[in-house]
Amino acid sequence: MASRYAQVYAGWRADPERFWAEAAGAIDWISPPTRIFAPEEGVYGRWFVDGVCNTCFNAVDRHVASGRADQKALVYDSPITGKKKSFTYGELKDEVVALAAVLRAQGVEKGDRVIIYMPMVPEAVFAMLACARLGAVHSVVFGGFAARELATRIDDSRPRVIVSASCGVEPGRVVAYKPLLDGAIEAAAHKPEACVILQRPEQTCELTPGRDVDLAEAVAAAKAAGAGVECVPVAATDPLYVLYTSGTTGQPKGVVRDNGGHMVALKWTMENEFGVRPGEVFWAASDVGWVVGHSYIVYAPLLHGCTTIVFEGKPVGTPDAGTFWRVIAEHGAVALFTAPTAFRAIKGQDPKGEFIGRYDLSRFRTLFLAGERADPETIKWAEARLGVPVIDHWWQTETGYPISHNPVGLGQLPVKYGSPAVPMPGYDVRVLDDAGHEVPAGTLGNVVIKLPLPPGCLPTLWNADERFRSAYLSEFPGYYKTADAGYIDEDNYLFIMARTDDIINVAGHRLSTGAMEEVVAEHPDVAECAVVGMQDGMKGQIPLGFVVLNAGVAREPAEIEKEVIALVRDKIGPVAAFKSVVTVKRLPKTRSGKILRGTMQKMADRETWSMPATIDDPAILDEIGSALHGKGIGG
Ligand code: COA
Ligand code: AMP
């Protein structure tokens, strides 16, 4: 069957407001919007300005009311703890209402912020939905971030309450959350009024008297008391959540997501882009701490009446490289969404895909990959072994759902390896040169999106309109800067090649090398430093630090390197995967003093590089070369 993509995209282009008004019809509004787009509102306009709604109602209550009460809403599958549990939509509603009652008892009201610092357990999802029910704004912080990252987010979002757990479980170790939580609260200037803590049997923690509430006890008490919490009406433009993402400094950016546009857009993507129907099982193997988790573990599948899977484990080692296939088979998933790095990990351990044949994957239709560039080799491996379409799509925390995709729901387009296919309705994607002129097809440049951004994309950064303008809108007036470099070919297929800023992508996780440099520079023996992203066969990229020691430091460089590594792990978290540091005499710089990070990265990656014309002292590159050589890195 021919794809309807071209026709649907043309329909959006011809009349975007009509397109989104129609899509909005799939949402239950308390008061439907009469104005679809208001260009005069917000930084670049706002969607559905006079609509009134509640996201929790659309994700939970309306399915209970419309005959899905006994359908599974959420399956928790945790090979790392050996636990499995499922919740129907009816049960999900009970859990969410009870937790909303607990939060309300702690003073949480519409507009208040709640930080959720949790491992991949169902309670994390309940907490998100409970906030949505109350009209409160959640901010989920990934469990792999350390206390300081949490503290920065506490100070920026100023939560009334934090929901957390006693621990997370990683292969071979239990991660105690309580010391991280306490450390963060101590370091932060803002203090939450209460913490609601899930005690996990793998490692419980002492609750802080007067501040901490036991989540399970409080939820049980709320249920016993029959506490009911109705969905609080919010404006479509009210924030649903703030999700912090790496910026170019240690201060992360608080990406704001509103209620109305987010629901409309996500609901539309499920059927049209992902080709999934209500009642089917959709699995995004990510973490609720990332945008993929927000959109495709929690909100989109639930808004669509699907069953979602909360998976607490890894693609390999929990217990083996067959875990993904076991989960798909056991729960009947029709689609899996993950990052290419997960497949590289599986392929590394099971190159022939022998585990795949041991499971019944007859219901599995599509594999979706995003979060980082999908290398053609990985896609071909997955296609050949799984026998289903493997679909690469491209988006960012800021947009919340795919910018470009191969929309299997509208009819799959031909796959071009290395390309996340074509722009989705809502997105007018262009490639500009540095002066802001559009470049011909096939020419590499800055990938931008013509304003306005579609519903669901960030309207601004939390309490930071000016930072939003300067980070995204000012360089190319009239466009949103994605900070990705790439090109569009003659068939309108997009190719994303690299970031134009200092963000690196480590195992599908977005990290700022600038933030790492800030931490490395804190070491008392470090005079100067640079962090670059170096290629890695499994994780895509990993950080590599260069340090110049203070004059007169007599200690062994190896010892200092170890301390620098520990410092980054302690301040940013293990997720930074910062494990390589090279001590050098000097850093290569331009005559104006700019560190030549790009050249050092090319040397580490054994790519051909040319002597930058502006270099101050070419001899330094020889020193860098031999220092890398000494560590067995680069050529
Ligand atoms: N809490 C605490 N620590 C965490 C954590 C969490 N939620 N998540 C990761 N970490 C730790 C890991 O234990 C690891 O610590 P270590 O240095 O002691 O080994 C470190 O952070 C790096 O984690 P990760 O990048 O996940 O690497 P890994 O070696 O543990 O696993 C993969 C590699 C490829 C299996 C894993 O990255 C993966 O499953 N990736 C899928 C990608 C993904 O989900 N992307 C999200 C966007 S779609
Ligand atoms: P995040 O905000 O964490 O989702 O990271 C977004 C960034 O990841 C993008 O700006 C890209 O640099 C990269 N990215 C995400 N998906 C893809 C993809 N399919 N292909 C190439 N890069 C991608």
Q: What are the pocket residues of ligand 1 if the criterion is a CB atom closer than 6 Å to any ligand atom?
A: 119, 143-144, 168, 170, 175, 286-287, 290, 292, 314-316, 339, 341-342, 345, 371, 507-509, 574-575, 577
The answer as to whether 462 is a domain residue is yes
Quick one: pLDDT at residue 635? 60
The CATH number covering residue 522 comes to 3.30.300.30
Residues 430 and 544 in one domain: no
Query: Of ligand 2's atoms, which has the minimum distance to the CA of residue 505?
Result: 8
Q: Of all protein residues, whose CA lies closest to atom 40 belonging to ligand 1?
A: 342
Domain final position from 486, 521, 538: 486
Q: Does the beta carbon of 486 lie inside 6 Å of ligand 2?
A: no
Q: Are 265 and 455 in contact (CB under 8 A)?
A: yes
Listed residue (482, 531, 542) closest to 508, CA to CA: 542
Ligand nearest to the Cα of 337, by number? 1
Give, for 7, the enclosing helix (H) or strand (E).
Answer: helix 5-14
Q: What value does the mean pLDDT take over residues 287-298?
A: 98
Looking at the domain assignment, is residue 345 inside a domain? no
Query: Does residue 91 fall inside a structural domain?
Result: yes
Question: Is residue 439, in this structure, part of any structural domain at all?
Answer: yes
Confidence of residue 250 (pLDDT cuts 50, 70, 90): confident
On whether residue 377 sits in a domain, the answer given is no
Q: What are the start-end ranges of the H helices in 235-293?
A: 260-272, 291-293
Indicate if 398 and 532 belong to the same structural domain: no
Confidence of residue 247 (pLDDT cuts 50, 70, 90): confident
Q: What is the model's pLDDT at position 248?
A: 73
Does 541 score more than 80 pLDDT? Answer: yes
Residue with CA closest to ligand 2 atom 3: 510
Tell me which of 457, 486, 515 is where a domain ends. 486
Kindly provide the b/e burial profile for residues 179-201, where b requires at least 16 CB atoms within 10 angstroms of the residue's own CB: ebbbbbbeebeeebebbbbbbbe
Q: Is residue 358 part of a domain?
A: no
Residue 247 in contact with ligand 2 by CB distance below 6 A: no
Q: What is the mean pLDDT of residues 496-502?
A: 92
pLDDT in tens, 254-276: 999 999 999 999 999 999 999 99
Closest ligand to the CA of 392: 2
Q: Which numbered ligand comes closest to the C-alpha of 510? A: 2
Nearest residue (CA) to ligand 1, atom 19: 574
Helices H / strands E in the chain, number of each? 20, 31
- Beta pairing, strands 509-512 & 580-583: unpaired
Q: Which residue has the higher pLDDT, 609 or 129?
A: 129
Probe residue for ligand 1, chosen from 169, 177, 316, 341 as the CB with the greatest number of ligand atoms within 8 Å: 341
Answer yes or no: do 481 and 511 share one domain: no
575 CA distance to ligand 1 middle (Å): 6
Residue with structure tokens 């301040």? 571
Same domain (yes/no): 459, 516: no
Residue 227's pLDDT is: 87
CATH number, residue 102: 3.40.50.12780
- Can you tell me the distance from the alpha carbon of 232 to that of 132, in angstroms, rounded to the nearest whole number? 8
Are 157 and 232 within one domain? yes
> What domain count does the chain have?
2
Mean pLDDT of 139-154: 96
Residues 447 and 516 in one domain: no
What pTM does this model have? 0.96
Protein residue with least CA distance to atom 15, ligand 1: 574
CB 96 within 8 A of CB 130: yes
pLDDT at position 251, please?
Answer: 83
- Say how many Å lie between the CA of residue 508 and the centre of ligand 2: 8
| CA–CA gap between residue 635 and residue 631 (Å, rounded) | 11
Tell me the average pLDDT across 291-311: 98
Measuring from atom 21 of ligand 2, which residue has the nearest CA? 373
Q: How far is the CA of 247 from the centre of ligand 2 (A)?
A: 14
343 lies in a domain?
A: no
Using the atom order of ligand 1, give the atom closest to the CA of residue 173.
Answer: 13
Atom of ligand 1 nearest to the CA of 341: 34
Give the closest ligand to the alpha carbon of residue 144: 1
Same domain (yes/no): 165, 132:
yes
pLDDT at 229 over 70: yes
Q: Would the pLDDT of 249 be above 80?
A: no
The ligand minimizing its distance to the Cα of 566 is 1
Domain that holds residue 424: 5-313+393-486
pLDDT over 70, % of the chain: 100
Mean pLDDT for 194-203 is 98
The predicted-structure confidence for 441-492, as pLDDT tens digits, reads as follows 999 999 999 999 999 999 999 999 999 999 999 999 999 999 999 999 999 9
What are the tens digits of pLDDT across the range 21-75?
A: 999 999 999 999 999 999 999 999 999 999 999 999 999 999 999 999 999 999 9
484 ligand 2 Cβ < 6 A? yes
Report if residue 58 sits inside a domain: yes
| Residue 246, pLDDT score | 87
- Same-domain status, 309 and 261: yes
Q: Is 243 in the pocket of ligand 2 (CB under 6 A)?
A: no
pLDDT at 549: 97
From the CA of 372, how far away is ligand 2's center (Å)?
5
Instruction: For residue 555, give every residue at least 6 positions away whose Cβ sits within 8 Å of its Cβ, in sequence order, or none.
Output: 525
CB 482 within 8 A of CB 501: no
Judge if 459 and 580 occupy the same domain.
Answer: no
240 & 274 share domain: yes
Section 106-122 average pLDDT: 98
Supply the angle between the helices 557-571 and 513-520 in degrees, to the nearest 10: 120
Same domain, 430 and 565: no
Tell me the CA–centroid distance for residue 519 and ligand 2, in Å: 24
292 and 428: one domain? yes
With cut-offs at 50, 70 and 90, classify the pLDDT of residue 342. Answer: very high
Q: Which of 505, 509, 511 to mutate to test the pocket of ligand 2 (most atoms within 8 A of CB)?
A: 505
* Coil, strand or helix at 582: strand
